[in-house]
Structure 1
Amino acid sequence: MSNTQTSGRSIGNVPAPRTGRTVTAAQRDIFRRIPKVELHCHLLGAVRQSTFAELAAMRAAPVTSDQIASFYARGARPVGVLHVLRTLEKHILLTPDDFRRIAYEYLEDAAREGVRHAEFFWNPTATIRDAKLPYAALQDAIVAGMRDAEREFGISSLLIPSIDREATPDDAVAMVELLIANRDDSVPGIGIDYRENDRPPELFAEAYHRARRAGLRATAHAGEFGMPWTNVATALDLLQVDRIDHGYSILENPALVERCVERGIVFTIVPTNSYYLRTLEPERWAAEHPIRAMARAGLKLHPNSDDPTLHNVTPGGAWELMYSHLGFDIAALRQMMLHGLDGAWIDTARRTAWAAAWPIEFDALTTATSWQESTLP
């Protein structure tokens, strides 16, 4: 992870902080060590560069070493990661064991960052279509990697098969039916992601309704890429999701914000989100980032890495950016840690135990050094 600096660019290649804050090596280590869940990470966005290169060579994939390096070198105005993910789906990840490996490696890396529990997204549709691999074998392989990681690193995890918005609504229904036919306690629900533009959530209502009737949990990417607040409302009201991934455009509708505050909806936000790095000027990026306004409005936020290896950020780095660049204080981060437990699809006993123990651990870590107050207006 890159150091936070007062000039130049830093973690995730975001603009230099305007808060006047610097982060010491000791503080950086604290952000890494604080207990946390990760609720918003894409499996294919967490593939190590070395693994990508090794598998590409094994498969004689039509991608050069320079192209692979460029995938992991985030520019000042990043173009997003969809083309990288499609390359992985079509040319690189071609056996179930590839998926076992990347799940295991992601969780190994996350455990080093203080992540005690991870819930991560995986889009099976393109792999089933392009690599001609059966859903059951893919899910079994990923779950095997998850169980190996828990045994070796102590990190628990849940898999969230996710609808590919760029496929058809019928493809979404087919994916849900495959999940229902291959139920596993480690695979408790569905999500939806990929490009939101021109693919509103109502197109996929039938897939969500089938999932809900089968007792599955649900989340959805909504209100990202500058898409309207109505997508957030539809995800909540029509798709009946438990939490929202991103959700930034909710700020356009104060009544919807108030409703989400009252319901305690958790928003899994991403400080390194590419859209705002492209659309906000560097000197205004932090001040005008919707994450700050969402917090001021009282929404329950939880920071995540999203596509950690492609965003050049770790889970601990995402938390560091909330402090160093976006101006939150340690008390706010402590509360966000608990928001993560509120939003996690874990059993009540574990949530209660962690909610009692983690604040004690957090306080023991953070009281060892001094911190600056919030810079939120």
Structure 2
Amino acid sequence: MMLPKVELHHHLEGGAPPAFIRGLAAQKKMDIGGIFDERGNYAFRDFLQFLKVYEAATGTLRTPEDYHRLTLAVLEEAAASGVIYLESFLSPDFCGGRDLSAWREYLHAIREAAEAAERKDGIVLRGIATVIRHFGPDKARETALCAAETAGDFLRGFGMAGDEMRGKPKDFAWSFDMAREAGLRLTSHAGEWGGPESVRDTIRDLRVERVGHGVRAIEDLALVDELAEKGIVLECCPGSNIALGLYPSWRAHPIARLHDRGVKVTISTDDPPFFGTSMEREYTRLAEAFDWDEGMFMSLARTAADAAFCDDETRDKILKRLEKEVV
């Protein structure tokens, strides 16, 4: 279903094709054995092992030039799947170890690659500076300082990823308050492994306007109604949830039930090569599971464009392209 697509929940390193990481490791003579299966795909059993494999793959990315090349590769893949606007999580933890000067260099390299990809393929990238939750609140504060100092027309948001079972959302409130004061818009992973209570705690304590995943809110219908009433947007990643065993099948995924109850849901890939997915595959499998048609997908894309953290001029351009590029 080759429709124009808007994606809001995507990790830049998580978009690295396995061949790209293997090539980088070989070039640098790094041993990252054990993170690929016999077919050359990323290999992991569960979410915690996924985090270890993710961080091992990310360990090959050591310079701004590495991130420039990564960004070009990731955006080429996304554009081939019909994505016209992408927001990706960028972490100062991986890009310079939370050193502000180094972070600026990495961010500059990513942005240069994004501009080249936009000229070539028409895809627009914006960044969301991201705390790694299991690194702890103190390091999150350093990340927030990096984000606040580089907020602007490219770096638009602030969020939190990582092990959802480590700490409480309120432990990171200082960082989110700093980001908000710097003009960054807020999202956070919740309701994937932590259950509906993690969604409730996150929207209360961090005052986010979007929630990454958030799908386990379906286990608490009062919370579902609260999300609908407040207009909180869920960045749903069905293929990721199924690959990690959160749900047994596409039909079992709650995205349709959440939508039917009035929650603003969007579609994203999370870490596409890790989970064997793409935006095109997400659309195809959701259409098969729920009989969604082109009109439904265009409606969800408009919801995503409305919820995007970009400036209004960019949003207007994306909305016009959504209407113009339907094929």
Query: Bigger CA drift: 209-218 or 269-278?
Result: 269-278
Give the equivalent residue in structure 2 for 1:41.
10
Gaps of 5+ in 2: none
Q: In the alignment, which residue of structure 1 is the partner of 2:169?
A: 201
CA contact (8 A) 1:49 1:309 kept: yes
Alignment of 1:253 onto 2:220: yes
- 1:237 Cα deviation (Å)? 2.4
In 1, Cα distance between the equivalents of 2:150 and 2:251? 46
| 2:76 aligned residue | 108
1:102-181 equivalences in 2 (<5 Å):
102-129=70-97, 134-181=102-149
1:1-377 matched pairs, under 5 angstroms: 31=1, 33-64=2-33, 67-69=35-37, 73=41, 79=47, 81-90=50-59, 92-129=60-97, 134-225=102-193, 227-274=194-241, 277-281=244-248, 285-355=249-319, 358-359=322-323, 361-362=325-326, 365=327
Q: In structure 2, the residue corresponding to 1:301 is in which secondary structure?
A: strand
* Distance of aligned partners of 1:206 and 1:354 in 2 relative to their CA distance in 1, 3 Å threshold: same
CA–CA distance in structure 2, aligned partners of residues 43 and 55 of structure 1: 16
Does the CA-based 8 Å contact 2:32-2:57 persist in structure 1? no
Aligned partners of 1:146, 1:220: CA distance in 2, in Å? 23
Which blocks of at least 5 consecutive residues in structure 1 are unaligned?
1-30, 366-377
- Partners of 2:215 and 2:133 lie apart in 1 by 19
Give a deviation string over 1:141-185, Cα, whole Å, max 9, x none.
111111121122211110111000111201001111112223342
Query: Partners of 1:93 and 1:286 in 2: how far apart?
Result: 33
Q: Is the 8 A contact 2:298 2:322 kept in 1?
A: no
Distance 1:209 1:122 in 2: 19
Distance 1:255 1:71 in 2: 45
What SS is found at the alignment partner of 2:134?
A: coil
How many residues align structurally?
326
Identity rate of aligned residues, in percent?
27
Residue 197 of structure 1 deviates from its aligned partner by 1.2
Contact 1:78–1:274 (Cα < 8 Å) also in 2: no
Q: Secondary structure at the match of 1:162?
A: strand
- Give the number of the structure with larger relative contact order, counting CA–CA contacts within 8 Å between residues 6 or more apart: 1
Query: Using a 3 Å threshold, how does the CA distance of structure 1 residues 40 and 130 change in structure 2: closer, same or farther?
Result: closer
Q: Which amino acid aligns with 1:200?
A: K
Structure with the greater alpha carbon radius of gyration: 1
Which secondary structure does the structure 2 equivalent of 1:117 belong to? strand
Q: Deviations over 1:279-327 (max 9, x none)?
A: 544xxx2343222321222211111111111111111111111112344
Give the conservation status (yes or no) of the 8 Å contact 1:71–1:310. Answer: no
1:44 and 1:78, CA in 2 relative to 1: closer, same or farther beyond 3 A?
Answer: same
What do the CA deviations read for 1:2-27 (whole angstroms, capped 9, x no partner)?
xxxxxxxxxxxxxxxxxxxxxxxxxx
Q: Deviations over 1:111-139 (max 9, x none)?
A: 12211111001222145349999222111
Any conservation in 2 of the 1:271–1:321 contact (CA below 8 Å)? Answer: no
Deviations 1:253-282 (CA, angstroms, capped at 9, x unpaired): 32222222123222110111246752544x
Cα separation, 1, equivalents of 2:211 and 2:313: 24
The residue type equivalent to 2:202 in the other structure is A
Contact kept in structure 2, 1:34 and 1:114, CA below 8 Å: yes
CA–CA distance in 2 between the matches of 1:337 and 1:132?
35
**Secondary structure of the equivalent of 1:203?**
helix
Secondary structure of the 1:192 match is strand
Q: What TM-score do the two structures reach when normalised by structure 1?
A: 0.79
Secondary structure, counterpart of 1:278 in structure 2: coil
TM-score (norm 2): 0.90
Shift, 1:107, TM fit: 1.0
